[in-house]
């Protein structure tokens, strides 16, 4: 935290009643946000520091309160200064799914709880709840998909992607997005994976699953967050477990829309994985964060699985022509 941000944080914490708290910095992630654990007597909380020129905390506050209204566990907002990019939020502790799995906790139980939360979110969310939440519209989805042609492909081929090739790729996505929208809309949290899920002590049912990192939430296809959970870019989910959780989710809803859900899931999976390949490349090239490159081969495997769905036949052919198997890896220019 820069000296200026330290000054702003100290003034904010003093106003919020946390001025005498002891502060402990927590590890960062791919975002510009930084977190500090606060200790004040027997009370604990987290300070979120999000520089306003980099991040806007207001969407985080809005979605946190919406999730709480729907009966889910998002960190409570204890104090806020949006113009300064400062929040004090509830501290759920250290039991992230990632840490629990590393300690040998029951993988199936954790993933079932996370899947059940998505089922309940789809059941409880009503259109009126989404007021003020942006739509996952076609332009947003196309911009995300283009990260592959704008960042990965140049790194993999050593040359800029020709404009015509980029447009051909986006035209295929435009044809597929109506298929993605063949399922009901819901609140899409977008980064719904084990790094952003926790077990919250003392809570039962789906409230036992704490949700983090939801500030980019949108209103969009109900298939998306299940893709995020089961096609995890950072961790292999056993195929049998993923299949059983997929069936668990589908069984919770009318059987008549299952073919549409299957197709939507495949399209959203392909879109998301194409985006992630681009994002992980950009994190290296633009931001100097090389650690994400190690996950690119896994994301390609997931993308290839999505492309096997018949709905994506034309997109699969585009990839076979322009991103052949030998390029579906960490770009050689970045591997050194």
Q: Which domains are present in the chain?
A: 3-89 (3.30.200.20), 97-335 (3.90.1200.10)
335: pLDDT confidence band, cut at 50, 70 and 90?
confident
142: pLDDT confidence band, cut at 50, 70 and 90?
very high
CB 190 within 8 A of CB 225: yes
Question: For residue range 78-136, what is the model confidence (pLDDT) as tens digits?
Answer: 999 999 999 999 999 999 999 999 999 999 999 999 999 999 999 999 999 999 999 99
Q: Nearest 5°: phi and psi at 89?
A: -125, 165
Q: Considering the entire predicted model, what is its pTM?
A: 0.92
Q: How far apart are CA 278 and CA 299, in angstroms?
A: 10
Beta-carbon contacts of residue 40 (< 8 Å; ≥ 6 apart): 18, 20, 21, 22
Pairing state between β 43-49 and 22-25:
unpaired
The pLDDT score that the predictor gives to residue 325 is 95
Q: How far apart are CA 102 and CA 147, in angstroms?
A: 32
CB 233 within 8 A of CB 269: no
Q: How far apart are CA 269 and CA 223, in angstroms?
A: 9
255: pLDDT confidence band, cut at 50, 70 and 90?
confident
The pLDDT score that the predictor gives to residue 29 is 61
The pLDDT score that the predictor gives to residue 189 is 97
Question: For residue range 183-229, what is the model confidence (pLDDT) as tens digits?
Answer: 999 999 999 999 999 999 999 999 999 999 999 999 999 999 999 99
The pLDDT score that the predictor gives to residue 28 is 67
Beta-carbon contacts of residue 243 (< 8 Å; ≥ 6 apart): none
- For residues 251-278, average pLDDT: 94
The pLDDT score that the predictor gives to residue 256 is 74
Q: Which residues, listed in sequence order, are joined to residue 198 by a DSSP beta bridge? A: 96, 210
Q: Which residues, listed in sequence order, are joined to residue 219 by a DSSP beta bridge? A: 135, 187
Here the tokens at position 91 are 């501290």
From first CA to last CA, the distance across the chain in angstroms is 31
The pLDDT score that the predictor gives to residue 31 is 67
Q: How far apart are CA 138 and CA 317, in angstroms?
A: 22
Question: For residue range 304-329, what is the model confidence (pLDDT) as tens digits?
Answer: 999 999 999 999 999 999 999 999 99
Question: For residue range 3-60, what is the model confidence (pLDDT) as tens digits?
Answer: 889 999 999 999 999 999 999 998 866 568 899 999 999 999 999 999 998 889 999 9
């Amino acid at each position: 935290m820069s000296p200026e941000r330290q000054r702003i944080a100290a003034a904010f914490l003093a106003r919020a009643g946390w001025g005498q708290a002891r502060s402990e910095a927590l590890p960062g992630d791919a975002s510009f946000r930084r977190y500090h654990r606060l200790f004040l007597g027997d009370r604990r909380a987290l300070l979120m520091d999000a520089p306003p020129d980099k991040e806007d905390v207001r969407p985080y506050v809005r979605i946190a309160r919406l999730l709480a209204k729907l009966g889910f566990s998002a960190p409570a907002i204890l104090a806020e200064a949006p113009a300064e990019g400062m929040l004090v939020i509830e501290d759920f502790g250290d039991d992230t799914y990632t840490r629990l799995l590393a300690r040998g906790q029951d993988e199936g139980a954790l993933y079932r709880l996370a899947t059940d939360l998505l089922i309940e979110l789809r059941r409880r969310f009503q259109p009126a709840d989404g007021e003020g939440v942006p739509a996952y519209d076609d332009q947003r989805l196309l911009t995300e998909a283009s990260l592959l042609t704008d960042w990965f492909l140049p790194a993999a081929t050593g040359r800029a992607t020709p404009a015509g090739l980029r447009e051909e790729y986006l035209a295929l996505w435009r044809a597929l997005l109506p298929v993605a929208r063949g399922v009901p809309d819901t609140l899409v949290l977008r980064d719904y994976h084990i790094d952003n899920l926790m077990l919250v002590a003392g809570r039962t049912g789906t409230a036992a699953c704490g949700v983090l990192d939801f500030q980019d939430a949108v209103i969009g296809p109900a298939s998306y967050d299940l893709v995020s959970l089961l096609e995890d870019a950072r961790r292999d989910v056993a195929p049998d477990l993923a299949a059983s959780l997929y069936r668990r989710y589908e069984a919770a809803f009318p059987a008549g829309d299952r073919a549409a859900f299957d197709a939507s899931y495949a399209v959203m999976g392909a879109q998301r994985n194409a985006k992630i390949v681009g994002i992980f490349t950009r994190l290296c090239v633009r931001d100097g964060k090389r650690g994400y490159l190690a996950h690119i081969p896994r994301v390609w495997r997931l993308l290839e699985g999505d492309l096997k769905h018949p709905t994506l036949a034309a997109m699969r052919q585009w990839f076979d022509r322009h991103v052949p198997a030998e390029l579906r890896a960490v770009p050689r220019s970045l591997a050194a």
